[in-house]
Amino acid sequence: MYNRWCATRSLVVLLIGALLTGSALAGQPSVPPVDTKEVPKARNYTVTSVPVESLTLAEPKLPDMSGYTAAAVQARIQRGEPGRVTLRRMLQQETLKQFVGGNNRLAEWVRRQRGMPQAIFIEGGYVDLATLAKKLPKQHFSVSAEGIYLARLPIVVARGATLHIDRQTLRLSQERGAFLINDGKLFITDSKVIGWREAENAAAGLRKPGEFRPFLLSWGGTETYIVKSFLGSLGYNSNKSYGMSLSQHTPDINKRLRRPAPMGWLIDSEFADLWFGFYCYEARDVVLKGNTFRDSQVYGIDPHDRSQRLIIANNTVRGTREKHGIIISREVDDSWIFNNQIHDNNLSGIVLDRNSVNNLVAWNEVYDNRADGITLYESSNNLFWGNRVIGNARHGIRLRNSVNIRLYENFVVGNGLSGVYGHTRKLSDKRRNPKLDPYDTKVSMTLVGGQLSGNGSTPLTIDSPLSIELYRVDMALPGKSSGISLSGILGERQDEILDLLVRQRKAVRIALVESQAGLKD
């Protein structure tokens, strides 16, 4: 259905462009009319042709995805050694300090458990839900005639232990404060894990941001595998309680524990009505493949601080209620975001934020989001290749305070404002710590190939760039009857730029004179 929609929309854009330019049916290349209105020349910029070879880039190679399968996950499960199941007080447990420490947080569990709070601990080996039901009192963990399990206490998978939820349904009681902490290995295969409201005998849909809802969290040094499963109605607005999270321990705890980064595979699963569909902090080698993240409250997919080498591929992210579909933020580097469909989210489709560098964003379909299609904030040295960015409410691709951004073969059509918009801004947000999130008010980009057509204001706008390089960019179907109308510094030198780019079919470099002098030094 989406491909038919794209084809129809592209045809409409082509027909409108043909009517506006009078050239599409002629069968010969032509240049749309240029706005010849006199504008003051920008004396501190040069417009020159550059060798095409300097902008030539091989199509990027994607990571091999063949090993991330259900069979590969099954092969990682060690069933030999049976584990132990015990009840312990939540106090003085390393894995639970985040939830029972200061600010009177223990009171939440005292109120919900109606006494000194306890948790279920799995230790020493392999345990499944049937084992938990046999070992625990029914008031804490029970199974119905339909084989549906209900946990009424938090569950902790200890270091060296494995919990396997396989072809089963686990309900986590909201009223009694149940949640699931992994400090070992967690496998969820062909199963359902649902935050559950016992009073209504229904999933625990979000009512208030700060109201407790069950959640899953895997700490540093853990492995988490979720395959062909459904996770729903999890998470709320509390630290590390976002829904489905992988997180390193706090710096003070990890100085002592020295745990490696958490890792996980989420494959062919569905995540619905989570506070964050997925969140990670200082994680490594996480794979999100073939999942659906829908109706998340704040973000669909949100890898955060210093997470590295992530693969986010072949997912659908839609219906995020407050903010973005996919956002990587604060030094999330060396990662791949490709072949995803991101649409109908309340703000941008994809965001790279706060010094997230050396990432590849390729062959994604980003459409009908209510802000930008793709947004970069203070994140340099990233490559965008072959993305289809269509019908988003604001800009197709927006860059702020980011340099060396390479945009190759992207199809950016029918967005509300500019096709590509680059700008600088001095940030005054008091919440931003300049030591944690340094940035320069500079922007530069390279655009090669692709199409910028039918966008609401201009195909391309860039204010005060260090440099911009253009080659083979198709802007032949403008969204305005006046023809191509560039903005910012490009508008001031539009005649020269189009002469080189369109008429002579050369690669063009527009550069700040001071920038060029600095490069020569």
Question: Tokens 């967005």 — which residue?
Answer: 415
Q: Which residues pair with 89 in a beta bridge?
A: 118
Closest listed residue to residue 287, CA positions, set 306, 305, 269: 269
Check residue 52 and report its DSSP letter: G
- Spatial distance between the Cα atoms of 443 and 242, rounded to a whole number of angstroms: 34
Q: Which DSSP helix (H) or strand (E) runs through 494?
A: helix 494-498
- Spatial distance between the Cα atoms of 187 and 246, rounded to a whole number of angstroms: 14
Query: How far, in Å, are 286, 293, 316 from residue 1 at the CA level?
Result: 30, 19, 14
In terms of DSSP bridges, do strands 192-197 and 202-203 run parallel, antiparallel, or are they unpaired?
A: antiparallel
Catalytic residue among 304, 324, 343, 395: 304
Q: How many CB atoms lie within 10 A of CB 241?
A: 22
Q: How many CB atoms lie within 10 A of CB 8?
A: 10
Single-letter residue type at 326 = I
First to last CA, the chain: 54
Q: Is 140 known to be catalytic?
A: no
Determine contact, residues 326/317, Cβ cutoff 8 Å.
yes
Pair of tokens at residue 228? 């062909």
The catalytic residues are 304
